[in-house]
Amino acid sequence: KNEVEQSPQNLTAQEGEFITINCSYSVGISALHWLQQHPGGGIVSLFMLSSGKKKHGRLIATINIQEKHSSLHITASHPRDSAVYICAVPRGTDKLIFGTGTRLQVFP
């Protein structure tokens, strides 16, 4: 079993839909990263959160440290949100362990 599991692996949506991507992890952590990988391959850091909720525009990330679970929500999804979304957890202060990603396609 991977230390970081994401679900679903693939997700398609119609423009305007509310999207939820889940991340579960088996190691004890106090923070988690969400990243976005564009179709062209570039990777952008979206959030680093250690408790509760963070919001940036239409993106909302939540984390429950006790349940070892985080969710990334996208409200009013748009085709430009189509990307791979990756969660990652620290292994100590030096290394991140990455999930394999959730591929999201939003159709007009």
Partner 1 sequence: NAGVTQTPKFRILKIGQSMTLQCTQDMNHNYMYWYRQDPGMGLKLIYYSVGAGITDKGEVPNGYNVSRSTTEDFPLRLELAAPSQTSVYFCASSYAGTYYGYTFGSGTRLTVV
Site residues for partner 1 per CB under 8 A: 2, 4, 30-31, 33, 35, 41-45, 48, 50, 86, 88, 90-101
CB of 102 to partner 1, least distance (A): 12
CB of 94 to partner 1, least distance (A): 6
Query: Would you say 17 or 24 has its CB closer to partner 1?
Result: 24
Rounded (5°) CA angle 83-49-24: 65
* The three-state (H, E, C) secondary structure of 64-96, written as one string: ECCCCEEEEEECCCCHHHCEEEEEEEEECCCEE
CB of 98 to partner 1, least distance (A): 4
Asked if the bond preceding 8 is cis, omega within 30° of 0, the reply is: yes
